[in-house]
Chains A and B, each alone.
Chain A
């Protein structure tokens, strides 16, 4: 060991102790090595995340710097006279529309489930029921796509036709409903199912943290169970619920296969939820075009992926920030 070089400056210890000291220093080396490896692994996470951003920018750069006419010439699926920004725009719109639709459908149901598990179901059943909801998260997205495309879509058609017939005067549900229903509304329903478990899981945790005393105080004042939930549980869990919804939003924004397998794509800014061929999401568009794209096309697709990355990063960061802030508050309690 190199550390023995330093030994002569100190008084020489007895042989047994000396061996011990030597073993200690070699252990220290192992310890330093171990802690360096651990720190390195932690730093690797940051490096990876930075690398994701850097590589996407580098690969997207050619498409971002090519003039619009050249881009439209080189890439068959970008129409004449459309800039890259003009191409990304409808995709971002479609992505947001699908995700917001899913969120609008999922949040009320997820809140209900979380309340049921935390405050209505018998205590003993709470964790098995939570596990049942978690099973929804275990099902791969491609299976949701298969199920949504072959089983659910035909069964939703009557509902969409009913909506179009009776509420067709609202621009959202303009008639006639497309057949087969490869429309963004169907996608919204499937995405809602897929993000239910994550919203439920976070909301459940938050609701379970409601201080026992708040609940009991509400009940002691004569509140019914619902009033107790409304006055004690929901105000306490509101910020948690918001961050849960945002986490769900992040998941819905990046979902690829379910959208790709159900939606009939189109590139417009249209709010007509029951019309096919109007919307497309960034992720599904990448999956659709990537295999046949030429190098510049790949670059353009990576540019759209970069937009998706930035959007989800912003949503997730905001959600985590709300959670973290909340944690600080509850720690003070």
Chain B
């Protein structure tokens, strides 16, 4: 019975501990509601991710076949059940390859400049404008590449190489940023040890700094390739649209995967007459989904391999 006499007292006057650990109901409810709101914000972001991947995969596998991957669109018309993406894959690989060849040396050397040599106003300007350059709209990069080549080759120029230049403008700042970060991770002790052995600075950079950070740099390059490989707008205006295979970057139009997706999408439904058995009304959309699947697989593979390289070959930071 003695316990009952103390119970009401604590109920009337909460202890200090109660005051500190339990917020009043309104604050507690706000806290809970915000917890739910914030968690659901994350779930909301998952909806488009899952639905994009799901629609691309489920619609894309319909047409995906060795045949689809190995033929071009030459001679394909109307709703006939034929045509593939070989020419587009080839074009994408060539154009992106040349863009990588241009961007990696420039980007890497710029990163080396910023980390190892850069002092004073030039370095500050480069750092700032690399950031600004990341924000150039892709279509403006396309217009720039077009203007540059039109100056030498006359108006109406459409070449794979112009597309590569446009992609390089988009790719260089990404390469610089990621390489710079990787070079900064190299511990200074390694550089100093190398200097102490009498190795000149440039050799130290090549033999010690670059060798230590090579995995990270490769990761960064692959991620930047993954970023530009899906660029559509600049390639649409400077590399053009074509139905047959073209392997020459410096001659004639060149098809790429993203442009192919767009091209098929914009052609829309095919008007089929009821008696035409061979005609598939949605053939253009099916091809678009198929090509989209191929593109997304390439991008995701690049991302995955890049992350794996980063994880397994990362330099051990001396902690």
Contact = CB atoms under 8 A, between A and B. Distances in A.
B110 A120 contact: no
Interface residues of A, number: 95
Contacts of B122: 39, 42-43
A257 B232 contact: yes
Interface in B231-258: 231-233, 236-237, 240-241, 258
A28 interface: yes
Interface in A83-117: 108-109, 111-113, 115-117
Q: Does more than half of chain A's interface fall in helix, strand or loop, or is it mixed?
A: helix
Given A142-B230, A143-B296, A144-B52, A49 B30 contact: no
Given A56-B140, A224-B23, A309-B136, A49 B129 contact: yes
Given A257-B232, A286-B143, A138 B226 contact: yes
A295 interface: yes
A227 B31 contact: yes
B202 A112 contact: no
A142 B37 CA distance: 31
Contact of A56 (B147, B236, B299, B303): B147
B110 A109 contact: no
B18 to A, nearest CB: 11
B148 A305 contact: no
28 contacts: A31-B201, A31-B202, A33-B202, A38-B110, A38-B116, A41-B112, A42-B122, A45-B133, A46-B126, A55-B151, A56-B140, A59-B147, A113-B42, A133-B45, A135-B300, A140-B230, A141-B230, A142-B258, A143-B52, A143-B230, A146-B289, A247-B135, A256-B233, A283-B137, A287-B236, A298-B155, A305-B143, A312-B135
Interface of A: 24, 27-28, 30-31, 33-35, 37-46, 48-49, 51-52, 55-56, 58-59, 108-109, 111-113, 115-117, 120-121, 129, 131-133, 135-136, 138-147, 149-152, 193, 196, 200, 222, 224-227, 229, 247, 250-251, 253-257, 260-261, 283, 286-287, 290-291, 295, 298, 301-302, 305, 308-309, 312-313, 315-317, 319-320, 324
The 6 A-B pairs at the shortest CB distance, nearest first, are namely A140-B230, A254-B137, A112-B41, A41-B109, A316-B135, A256-B233
